[in-house]
Structure 1
Amino acid sequence: MLGNNSHFIALVWLTYAISGSPLDLGLVMMFSSLPPLLFGLFMGVYVDLWDRKRLMILCDIFRCFVVLMFPLLYYFGLLRLAHIYLITFLLSSLQVLFESAQGSFVPNLVARPQLVVANSISQMTSQVTNIIGSALAGVLILLIGNINIFYLDSFSFLFSAASLSFITRSGRVAGATLSVSGREILHRMKEGMRLMANTELILILTITMAIMNFALGPVNVLFPILSEKILQAGAAGFGFLMSGLSFGMLIGAIVVGKVGSRLTKGKLT
């Protein structure tokens, strides 16, 4: 997560430096958002068929090499906006796969009564690294240059893969097999859609997250322009603005961890 957030700040600033166009920033965000929309349900089905731990390790290793495409293309003078769109799309696709495996693996690691606390800790970890990673990236862009941030992000994926390898529990679902027909895959996808439609809480959460992402989407495009043109704070200012968002989310995660076990999920939502 620390690498991801540094990567995001560097990616947005790199795009803005190359084009200076809010439209191009919006297109980068669009290519980042397309994989969850296009592949999210399909990948969710396949995650249940694979060993989740191994899948996460493979995703990290692939992302390590994909991220390296940014500095390599840059130093050979070949980096174009089209490459940024393509690499962003690939990284987002791998992230969807990784996060699907990660989220479904947590219940295998802790008992059911500990799930709320475990998920809260996970969110707190995420938001703390968001705060640190965003602010740190803004400062590092000034110190070592924007393109070198991607080397750090690439290394972070290798570190993550190595850390995951120490988990002793298997990530394989009992009885799962990869030898399933396309009809079976389609059937499982329909089951997932039916579950969402028939479970009020899941449906409400899905709609709520859609609205939140729709509202937050423009922020990612406007913040670098705000920092550069209005605040005249450059990359460092952009990093600290994004840290502010994460700080608010961290407070929310702490509150959920404190009161989550005493409230129903509906009231908590």
Structure 2
Amino acid sequence: MNIWKSKESMLLIFSSGITFIGNGMHFIAVSWLIYQYTGNPMSVALLVILTTLPTLLTFPFTGVIADRFDRKKIVISMDVLRCVFVLIIPLMYLLNEMNIYVIYLLTILISISNNFFYPAFSGVVKSVVQERLFLKVISANSSMLQLGTIVGAGVAGLLIANYSIMIVFLIDGATFLVSALILLNVKYIHNKPESIKGSKLVIDYFLKDFLSGLKYIFNKKVLVYLFLIGILPAAIIQIINSLLSVYTNQSLGLGVDAYGMLDAIFAIGALFIGVLMTFVNNVNPQRLITFSFFIMGIGFLIISIAGSFFIAAIGLFLLGVSILMESACRKSLIMQLVDENYIGRVESFNWAIYSVIAPLCTIAATLFNGQIGTTSLFFYISVILIAISIFSVPFFNKNDLQINSETAMDIE
């Protein structure tokens, strides 16, 4: 079935696309604004920390709320809240009351809103999209993310350079409002889950739901495996972001123009495969995950031995293709495997893992890079990725029946 003929799928994709453009614009604008007011790069680093820290504090609650309450109301409410939080920045500017600490506070509030939005949004997708369209919708959303990052960052740069940084925040706020209006038209029926017996206090209520979600996750071997293998691609994106400039300068002997082009080629590869996967039918996600890790390994192998911009560009393109392919297939399998009553808790736990472990992997890679060099590090990563690809073949063959026919049971 074609996703472009499914009204609900199109609404969800357009909602994601418009907010991803806003997110791409927002990060550029708020980073530049903070650096402009402080002149200290550490202030921008603190901003990045404040976007990830709330995940660790809120994920036990966000997943439970997404599974217990009306998900459509949650996503629309979070869009409206994010619109308000963003528009406070130009309001402060208009009143000549700009305060760097308020911007930090707004960053935390926006991050918390994101943490409530995405598990609930996944639940809406699970409820209204046909199972056979999961991979196509997720691929389209991933393409929108890449496109939004490219377009949003580019537009933000042009607006800041030629007009006013506050225009960026006004557009950013408007994207959330447009997303909320789009989501209003999604036909979603909230199926209220059964209450947990014996819960007298609110904290007890949330704790039992949270622990029930953890038990559900760890009782599914395939689900745990999908979480574990997803850590490396998430870490790889951060490794590329942090080491690509060093690699371009030291290994290729090229400058900032080449660095920008290589970074764009990576995004183009991801965008290309994301669009392609929205049109391809009869795809086996398990086989594509195995294949994508192999291609990832080949991509890192190519850039580890590349002696020119052209060869490195081929490697970066393959990495963009393979990382998005793996991510879309893995997420569609998780969506297929998980019962609707647990999708919020599974997604919030999934995001919390990556928020903690992926940056740690990046720090470790940076330390190893100082000891062995970028090209050697990339070579060792390629070996690990190819090994995962080889191991995944017998694992998925052994657990194929479990993925396709396993019925999700409520855990008391």
TM range, smaller chain? 0.7 to 0.9
Match of 1:102 among 121, 139, 148: 121
Give the Cα–Cα distance (whole angstroms) in 1 for the partners of residues 240 and 30 of structure 2.
Answer: 15
Q: Which one-letter code corresponds to 1:125 in the other structure?
A: M
**Aligned position for 2:46:** 27
Deviation, structure 1 residue 79: 2.3
Match of 1:175 among 167, 175, 193: 193
Does structure 2 conserve the Cα–Cα contact (< 8 Å) formed by 1:3 and 1:157?
Answer: yes
Determine if the alignment matches structure 1 residue 117 to structure 2 residue 136: yes
Partner SS state of residue 264, structure 1: helix
Distance 1:256 1:197, change over 3 A: farther
Separation of aligned partners in 1, 2:170 and 2:92? 13
Q: Is the counterpart of residue 196 in structure 1 residue 217 in structure 2?
A: yes
Q: Distance in 1 between matches of 2:211 and 2:50?
A: 26
Q: Which residue among 78, 84, 87 is the counterpart of 2:103?
A: 84
Give the letter aligned to residue 31 of structure 1: L
2:309 corresponds to? none
Partner residue in 2 for 1:253: 274
Pairwise CA distance, 1:260? 8.0
| Equivalence for 1:67 | 86
8 Å contact kept, 2:128–2:187: no
RMSD after superposition: 3.3
Distance in 2 (CA, whole Å) between partners of 1:146 and 1:81 is 15
Structure 1, unmatched stretches of 5+, are 224-229
- Distance between the aligned counterparts of 1:196 and 1:54, measured in 2? 26
Percent identity (aligned): 26
Cα deviation, residue 75, structure 1: 3.1
Q: Is the 8 A contact 1:130 1:243 kept in 2?
A: no
Q: Structure 2, unaligned stretches of length 5 or more?
A: 1-19, 245-254, 293-325, 327-412
Seen in structure 2, the aligned counterparts of structure 1 residues 124 and 143 have a Cα distance that, compared at 3 Å, is same
1:187 is aligned to 2:205: no
- Conserved 8 A contact 1:55-1:101: yes
Per the alignment, residue 206 of structure 1 pairs with 227
2:284 to 241, 262, 268: 262
Evaluate the alpha carbon distance shift between residue 125 and residue 40 of structure 1 in structure 2; reply closer, same or farther with a 3 A threshold: same
Call closer, same or farther: CA 1:200–1:256 in 2, change over 3 Å.
farther
Task: Please list, as runs of the form range in 1=range in 2, the aligned pairs for 1:202-241 lying within 5 A after superposition.
Answer: 202-211=223-232, 213=234, 216-217=237-238, 231=256
Output the TM-score relative to the length of structure 2: 0.55
Separation in 1, partners of 2:163, 2:264: 20
**Is 1:160 matched up with 2:179?**
yes
The answer to whether the Cα contact below 8 Å between 2:68 and 2:192 also exists between their aligned partners in 1 is no
Post-superposition shift, 1:140? 1.5
State the distance in 1 between where 2:233 and 2:227 align.
10
Name the residue aligned to 1:40.
59
Structure 1: distance between partners of 2:90 and 2:218: 44
- Asked whether 1:3 is paired with 2:25, we answer no
Written as runs of structure 1 = structure 2, the 5 A alignment for 1:133-148 is 133-148=152-167
Give me the whole-angstrom Cα distance separating, in 1, the residues matched to 2:143 and 2:73: 25
Q: Secondary structure at the match of 1:189?
A: helix
1-structure distance, mates of 2:94, 2:238: 31
Query: How many pairs were matched up?
Result: 258
What SS class does the counterpart of residue 261 from structure 1 fall into? Answer: coil
Distance 2:24 2:38 in 1: 21
User: Deviation at 1:184?
Assistant: 3.2
Distance 1:165 1:214, change over 3 A: same
Q: Answer whether contact 1:71 1:151 (CA < 8 A) is retained.
A: yes
Residues 71, 124 of structure 2: 8 Å contact kept: yes
Deviation, 1:33, is 0.5
1:116 Cα offset (Å): 1.4
Give the whole-Å Cα distance in 2 for the aligned partners of 1:264 and 1:150. 41
Name whichever of 187-196 and 251-260 sits farther off: 251-260
Aligned to 2:169: 150
> Cα 1:41–1:204, aligned 2, differ >3 Å: closer, same or farther?
farther
Between the two structures, name the one with larger relative contact order (CA 8 Å, sep ≥ 6).
Answer: 1
What is residue 128 of structure 1 aligned with on the other side?
Answer: 147
**1:213 Cα deviation after fit:** 4.9
Q: Deviations over 1:106-147 (max 9, x none)?
A: 121122222112211222222222221121111121122212
8 Å Cα contact 2:66-2:119 kept in structure 1: yes
Paired letter, 1:122: N
Name the residue aligned to 2:359: none
Is this contact kept in 2: 1:7–1:150, CA < 8 A?
yes
Deviation of residue 247 (structure 1)?
A: 3.0
CA displacement at 1:214 relative to structure 2: 5.1
> Once the 2 structures are TM-superposed, how far is the Cα of residue 166 of structure 1 from its aligned partner?
1.1
